[in-house]
Amino acid sequence: MTDRTWHASTEQLHGFANHSELMEQTTAASLEAHLVGCDACRRGLAEAADPVTIASSWEALTDRIDQPRRSMVERALVRLGARSGWARLVAATPGLRASGFAGIALVAAAAVAMARGIGAEGPFLVAAPLVPLAAVAVSFRPGADPIGEASVATPMHGMGLVLRRAVAILTVSFALLGVAALALPDLDLEAAAWVLPALALSVGAIALSTWIRLETAVAVLGGGWLMTLTAIWWLAGRDVVAVHSQSFVLATQLTALAVGVVAMAVVGARRDRLATLEAFR
Amino acid sequence: MTTTPTISLVGVSKGFGSTIALDHVDAAFAPGINGLLGPNGAGKTTMLRILATVLPADQGRLDVLGVDPTTGDGRLSVRRRLGYLPQEPGFHRQFSAFDFVDYVAILKEWADRKTRHDEVRRVLGLVDLDSVMHKRIGQLSGGMRRRVGIAQALIGRPDLLVLDEPTAGLDPEQRLRFRELLGTEASGATVLLSTHQTDDVAALCHNVVVLLSGQVRYTGTPAGLAALAEGRVWLAADRDLRAELAWITGEGRVRHIGDPPAGAQLVEPTVEDGYLVLAGHQAHAAPLAS
Amino acid sequence: MPTDQELVVAVADGDRGALRELHDRHVVWVTARLRRRCSDADAVADAVQDTFAAVWKGAARWDGRGDPAAWIWGIAIRRLIGTLRSRNRWSRALAAAERAQSEVVVAAEDQVLVGIEHGDLAGALRSLSPELRAVVQATVLDGLTTREAGRLLGIPAGTVKTRMMRARAELRGVLA
């Protein structure tokens, strides 16, 4: 029915481009039907229109399509009040990806399961402090930033970013561990005995990384923790129950507190070393 | 140097374990395009990293854009006026080119989203990546990825541009575009670029530093570097077996540097010839012109 | 020069330049056609933006058959309906068109165009009352369902059905 050799005239195209609503009904309807199938007339129509309107329509469109996709973590941070720039930077921390959450949750659940299995908190108290330490290792090793080296030469790189990222992953680790701890067999004060050692180990690793490689620092601290516990067990006459005695628990907590405070002071004093590549080598 | 240098290094040294990467280096760079020439392992990347505040030097005095970059405040001040392209930019697989440049712009303190996105579009347009800016970096070719790296260095029209091998992987047409781009975008800025390509140096740089084994072996104009080979470059029909430096050119004749082989014709030296006089066999260890 | 089909495939691959070309080719006729159905210029502008944003996100879902222009129109008209729903303002394109109708004279050239595109139907359509014509345009020419046509015209779906029946009866009479 449609004769493809027919094309719209310049006046018709001009009329349709600039005030289509004023065109006579059926003429306009026919022209519309023709345009769906004729690219030559569509071209003519675009030429008959004001180029400024086409350009500004495109500009408005780019504002929409150029929005980077926001991850769930990023949106959560924005809702918590972070500015969109910081939210993006912190959300890019490796430990804050879904795999990170899953890993932490898995280890916490396994530790709790073991604790319930033997009816004592021991396994959880041993394993929990290692979790934030591992999160620090994953999030701050060289090449962990999605951008790599190009990010080091920027004004925002340095202690401000390290701190915000550390706060984010430590908050997440501690929150998940705290939730898991609720399922421990005995909910007494001792069930929280993992908190200070966890802080000491994770902040300690960041502090040590201003001298040695992060991986080494993590290994030293993780190994040190396990060796300390073994030493305590030995000193208690290899009696697991005695390990839970007041004196040992108090000693461990106070030491952890001291280490944590010292580590924070070191990070503050040596923050310049966080600002270059070598810090996390 | 006719203009006042914006960057100076005095006695700068840097070592990694038992390796000495930079050995008491003295150098000065002024606004304009400065080239850093040398084989792999000569210390170019180390020098650029130190000037880009990414690595600290072990010894020596540094002045970058009027400040001392070894202090915290100095570093911050330099980073606010710096654009840096590392030899290996770390590209996150899931990022698009736009995401990557946008992320760097955030790190460069562009907090307002609208102005930041306008700037991201601008720099990606400068390197002709408008069409593909939303494709994942993993989908882009090596040359395109290099251009993404160049784009992020251009954010904010920095006063100091430190570019490590910016033309690696670019085809001749893209290298030409890059030269034009530097001409317009970086006028007035101090540009430091490292390269293997002597023709980039000849076309672009008003000043070139040759680094060999962590030491500066030449500072001056590209013409001066070429002049080092004056009277020592010959073209012959066949290769002289005793010659140390000789290779077949595109026209089929053999170019020699050093003593004249029998029946050879003396020719004008190029920048490459001058560089080879200095670097000798060391230069042959690296791809000189790829 | 790439065809529209090639452009859509490129857009599905994330080519922003292809989206721009597609946008520049189609934005004018889509906007003009939507404006004949809705007198609210802001709603039309929103719908056009939504349309091309949807093309950007959903190009991979184009089935590859037929003209991309028809696919784009299908997205556009439905986005317009969506925009009108969320703005909760029912717009009757007909009202605006009718106000202007009295000043418009059908040129001879236009009559040729009408005859070619719709054959005998054109003259018959002109003989219908404005409400019946609007319903025929929405369902037959725009390809909307009775419910969508009802939303566009601001009338219940049942009314759309009855008007379509009356229109068909009248057209049968005229064409016979």
pLDDT given for residue B118 in this prediction? 95
Res A1: pLDDT: 43
| Residues A143 and A240 grouped into a single domain | yes
pLDDT for A236: 76
Band of pLDDT at residue A243, cut at 50, 70 and 90: low
Same domain, A16 and A88: no
Given a cut of 50, is residue B246 above it in pLDDT? yes
Q: Does C158 touch chain B (CB under 8 A)?
A: no
pLDDT at B187 (0 to 100)? 87
The reply to whether B114 touches chain C by the CB within 8 Å rule is no
- Does A115 have pLDDT greater than 90? no
Q: Which structural domain, as residue segments, surrounds residue A30?
A: 10-65
Question: Is the predicted pLDDT of residue B207 greater than 50, yes or no?
Answer: yes
Contacts of B267 (CB under 8 A, 6+ apart): B233, B234, B235, B255
pLDDT in tens, B151-200: 999 999 999 999 999 998 888 899 999 999 998 988 889 999 999 888 88
In tens, the pLDDT along C116-128 reads 555 556 667 777 8
- Give the burial string for B240-258 (b: 16+ CB within 10 Å, else e): beebebbeeeeeebbbbbb
Q: Any idea which residue has 């102005």 for tokens?
A: B115
Band (A244; pLDDT cuts 50, 70, 90): low
Walk me through the domains of chain C, giving residue ranges and CATH numbers: 1-91 (1.10.1740.10), 93-176 (1.10.10.10)
Q: Is the dihedral of CA A199, A204, A206, A207 positive or negative?
A: positive
Chain C nearest CA to B137, separation (Å): 12
CB contact under 8 A, B130 and C18: no
Q: How many CB atoms within 10 Å of residue B262?
A: 8
Q: Check if CATH label 3.40.50.300 holds for domain B7-221.
A: yes
Using an 8 Å CB-CB cutoff, list chain A residues near B106: 85, 88-89, 156
Rounded to an integer, what distance in angstroms lies between the CA atom of residue B70 and that of residue B63?
9
Q: Same domain, yes or no, for A272 and A177?
A: yes
Q: Are residues A166 and A210 in the same domain?
A: yes
Question: Average model confidence (pLDDT) for chain A?
Answer: 84
- Claim to verify: residue A47 and residue A137 sit in the same structural domain: no
Q: Pick from C69, C111, C114: which is nearest to A36 by CB? A: C69
Cβ atoms A130, A205 nearer than 8 A: no
Describe the strand order of the beta sheet including B32-37 as a list of residue ranges: B82-85, B160-164, B190-195, B32-37, B207-212, B215-220
Any domain includes A214: yes
Residue spans of the domains in chain B: they are 7-221, 226-284
Do A61 and A82 fall into the same domain? no
The pLDDT assigned to C175 comes to 57
* Angle at A185 (CA atoms; ends A184, A190), nearest 5 degrees: 70
User: What's the burial of A79, exposed, middle or buried (CB within 10 Å: 0-12/13-18/19+)?
Assistant: exposed
Asked whether the predicted pLDDT for residue B214 surpasses 80, the reply is yes
pLDDT average, residue stretch A206-214: 87
Same domain (yes/no): A82, A49: no
Classify strands B245-248 and B254-257 as parallel, antiparallel or unpaired.
Answer: antiparallel
Chains that touch A (3 or more CB pairs under 8 A): B, C
Asked if C153 and C106 touch (Cβ cutoff 8 Å), the reply is: no
One-character DSSP codes across chain A = ---TT----HHHHHHHHHHGGGS-HHHHHHHHHHHHH-HHHHHHHHHHS-HHHHHHHHHHHHHHHTPPPPPHHHHHHHHTT--HHHHHHHHT-GGGSHHHHHHHHHHHHHHHHHHHHHTSSHHHHHHTTHHHHHHHHHHHSTT-STTGGGGTTSTTTTHHHHHHHHHHHHHHHHHHHHHHHTTSS--SGGGGTTHHHHHHHHHHHHHHTTTS-HHHHHHHHHHHHHHHHHHHHHHTTS-HHHHTSHHHHHHHHHHHHHHHHHHHHHHHHTGGGGGSGGGG-
What is the arithmetic mean of pLDDT over B230-253? 82
> Taking residues B88-92, what's their average pLDDT?
81
Q: Which of A37, A65, A93 is the last residue of a domain?
A: A65
Instruction: Point out the residue among A34, A39, A58 whose CB comes nearest to the CB of C20.
Output: A58
Cβ(A121)–Cβ(A180) below 8 Å: no
